[in-house]
């Protein structure tokens, strides 16, 4: 297995920024164990037959999360697959910004616009176990993953998922509104594993990447409950533009950086 991992790492180096990690995750998946268990107990075993086809899929730029069917996010593990945007570590900045806003208090109601596989909403509900939430997405594929994740995490009685067009038809107010809308410009280049596999509708938002902010922001003032906030993920070059769009709707902005120090989130009140 050590030799197989070394060879897989060599093959993956031209196509992946994390070739050794990818190899270990694929090997663990082939064995049906966690990566930690693989590293602690199985490195001297024979490599399983199922490893080679998994490696070939990764060499063809298929995302690791689609191959293994899961991705860790915040304190939860989510099932993901084709048709659902893969959770990114950068998006955890939204949860951190929400915790910063509420402090020792807790939001009672949470809305997640463009929920995908339930990423932000289920992470927030895991952090605040008394809260209830609503997730909206235009993709039935994504919503099927979200509902399955809620069931698996034991949150089905605290959350609803509905098909919708951003905030259209939602009349309630919410303590916390989360959104990770598409923000990639149509001319921007993405890695093959993103461009060829993840849903374009969850990635691209017009020439400047701002189209969906222009649709979401006008609805937020009527939907944020007193003392609440809306937290939107942004591309790292978009803080000024999104803040200006928010100001035009009477919303005050605070920008939060991700772990790399790049502007990643706009918190609106």
pLDDT (tens digit, 9 = 90+) per residue, 113-154? Answer: 999 999 999 999 999 999 999 999 999 999 999 999 999 999
138 in the same domain as 50: no
pLDDT at residue 226, rounded to an integer:
97
Range of the domain at 10: 2-60
Which parts of the chain sit beneath pLDDT 70? none
38 in the same domain as 98: no
Cβ(167)–Cβ(114) under 8 Å? no
Cβ(142)–Cβ(117) under 8 Å? yes
pLDDT at residue 30, rounded to an integer:
98
Boundary residue ending a domain (60, 89, 107): 60
Cβ(40)–Cβ(31) under 8 Å? no
- pTM attached to this predicted model: 0.95
Q: Alpha carbon of 65 to those of 104, 169, 215: distances in Å?
A: 34, 33, 30
Burial 243-261 (b: 16+ CB within 10 A, else e): bebbeeeebebeebebeee
- Residue 71: inside a domain, yes or no? no
| 192 φ, ψ (degrees, to nearest 5) | -55, -35
pLDDT at residue 12, rounded to an integer:
98
pLDDT at residue 28, rounded to an integer:
98
- Residue 95: inside a domain, yes or no? yes
């Amino acid at each position: 297995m050590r030799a197989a991992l070394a060879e897989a790492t060599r093959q993956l180096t031209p196509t992946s920024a994390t070739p050794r990690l990818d190899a270990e995750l694929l090997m663990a998946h082939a064995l049906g164990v966690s990566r930690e268990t693989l590293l602690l107990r199985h490195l001297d075993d024979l490599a399983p037959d199922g490893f080679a086809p998994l490696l070939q899929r990764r060499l063809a730029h298929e995302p690791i999360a689609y191959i293994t069917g899961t991705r860790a996010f915040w304190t939860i593990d989510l099932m993901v697959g084709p048709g659902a945007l893969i959770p990114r570590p950068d998006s955890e900045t939204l949860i951190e910004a929400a915790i910063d806003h509420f402090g020792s208090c807790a939001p009672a109601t949470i809305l997640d616009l463009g929920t995908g596989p339930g990423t932000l909403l289920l992470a927030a509900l895991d952090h605040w176990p008394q809260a209830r939430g609503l997730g909206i997405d235009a993709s039935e594929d994504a919503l099927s993953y979200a509902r399955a994740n809620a069931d698996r995490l034991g949150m089905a009685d605290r959350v609803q998922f509905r098909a919708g067009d951003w905030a259209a038809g939602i009349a309630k107010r919410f303590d916390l509104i989360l959104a990770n809308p598409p923000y990639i410009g149509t001319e921007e280049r993405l890695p093959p594993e993103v461009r060829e596999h993840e849903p374009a509708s969850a990635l691209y938002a017009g020439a400047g990447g701002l189209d969906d902010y222009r649709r979401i922001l006008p609805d937020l003032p009527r939907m944020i409950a007193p003392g609440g906030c809306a937290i939107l993920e942004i591309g790292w070059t978009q803080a000024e533009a999104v803040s200006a769009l928010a100001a035009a709707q009477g919303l005050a902005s605070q920008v939060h950086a991700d772990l790399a120090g790049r502007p990643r989130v706009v918190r609106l009140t």
